[in-house]
């Protein structure tokens, strides 16, 4: 099976006391292994909500969601966290690095958490550090790195566990346009290497190098 994601008629609302806000409306989406998909939409259209559902960080109200052979809509919290940890690499606008740790320490964290030895983890990290083009800054802490360098650290950290899916929410949102372009070129390279990527943004530039573009408007998808 070459499908990694199949969503059918997914709905999601936020409930606040008596009030509710219907954010995702009958979302159906399939993503193949090796795809590079951009989901574009204006502020408030439901992008981050969709990312949270795709990333198994939030549940859906109705519809079905299959990730590889797992029925996400029927998963327990423990199973959802297993999918997040084992299957998905997350990249965020704000990088979300650990400030006290150097670049290399941030990158190897997911491997140490899995019980790998430090030597083995560092060796594995070298491959990804080279891939993202960060070789000369690995002993610096996040506040000693530029935004683009911090995002490269975050990308290496997301890749090091070899996730089935790379999920990015506004990955260039904190970067100037030239640096943002560099990061997108890196995504293109990762996709050429076989990584499946979904990138979510309000910025059309982000879609330039993707294989597929889907718009989200008021909680509905349009391909
Ligand atoms: N936890 C929440 N509780 C209640 N309402 C929420 C919550 N999160 C988001 N919303 C609302 O849901 C709608 C969609 O929000 P979402 O964050 O998915 O939009 P977005 O497309 O990511 O926007 P942006 O481009 O500004 O990040 C908005 O109206 C927002 O106010
Ligand atoms: Mg958002």
Are the CB atoms for 105 and 154 separated by under 8 Å?
Answer: no
Angle between helices 177-192 and 147-159 (to 10 degrees): 20
The secondary element (H helix, E strand) that includes residue 188 is helix 177-192
Distance of CA 153 to the CA centre of its chain: 14
- Residue nearest atom 16 of ligand 1, based on CA coordinates: 46
Q: How many CB atoms lie within 10 A of CB 105?
A: 20
Q: What separation in Å is there between the alpha carbon of 195 and the centre of ligand 2?
A: 23
Q: What separation in Å is there between the alpha carbon of 50 and the centre of ligand 1?
A: 10
Candidates 14, 28, 40; CA nearest to 202 is 40
Q: Report yes or no on whether pTM surpasses 0.85.
A: yes
Output the six-digit token pair for 153: 């650290």
Task: List, for residues 90-131, the tens digit of each pLDDT value.
Answer: 999 899 999 999 999 999 999 998 899 999 999 999 989 988
Task: List, for residues 152-201, the tens digit of each pLDDT value.
Answer: 999 999 999 989 999 999 999 888 888 889 889 999 999 999 999 999 99
Candidates 90, 112, 96; CA nearest to 165 is 90
* pLDDT reading at 223 higher than 80: no
Distance of alpha carbon 154 from alpha carbon 148, whole angstroms: 10
Ion ligand 2: residues, CB within 5 A, are: 47-48
Q: Residues near ligand 1 with C-beta < 6 Å?
A: 14, 16, 21, 23, 41, 43-49, 202
Q: Identify the nearest ligand to the CA of 44 by its number.
A: 1
In order of their start, the domains of the chain are 3-222 (3.40.50.300)
């Amino acid at each position: 099976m070459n499908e990694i994601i199949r969503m059918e008629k997914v709905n999601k609302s936020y409930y606040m006391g008596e009030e509710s806000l219907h954010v995702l409306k009958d979302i159906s989406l399939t993503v193949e292994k090796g795809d590079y998909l951009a989901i574009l939409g204006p502020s408030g259209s439901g992008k981050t909500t969709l990312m949270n559902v795709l990333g198994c960080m939030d549940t859906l109200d109705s519809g079905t969601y299959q990730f590889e052979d797992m029925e996400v809509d029927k998963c327990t919290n423990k199973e959802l966290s297993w999918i997040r940890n084992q299957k998905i690499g997350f990249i965020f606008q704000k990088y979300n690095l650990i400030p006290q740790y150097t670049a290399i320490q941030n990158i190897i964290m997911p491997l140490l958490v899995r019980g790998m030895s430090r030597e083995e983890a560092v060796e594995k990290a070298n491959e990804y550090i080279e891939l993202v083009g960060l070789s000369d800054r690995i002993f610096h802490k996040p506040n000693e790195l530029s935004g683009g360098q911090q995002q490269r650290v975050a990308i290496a950290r997301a890749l090091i566990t070899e996730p089935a899916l790379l999920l990015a929410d506004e990955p260039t949102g904190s970067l100037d346009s030239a640096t943002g372009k560099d990061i997108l070129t890196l995504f293109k390279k990762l996709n050429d290497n076989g990584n499946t990527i979904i990138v979510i943004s309000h910025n059309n530039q982000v879609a330039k190098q993707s294989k597929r573009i889907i718009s989200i408007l008021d909680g509905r998808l349009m391909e």
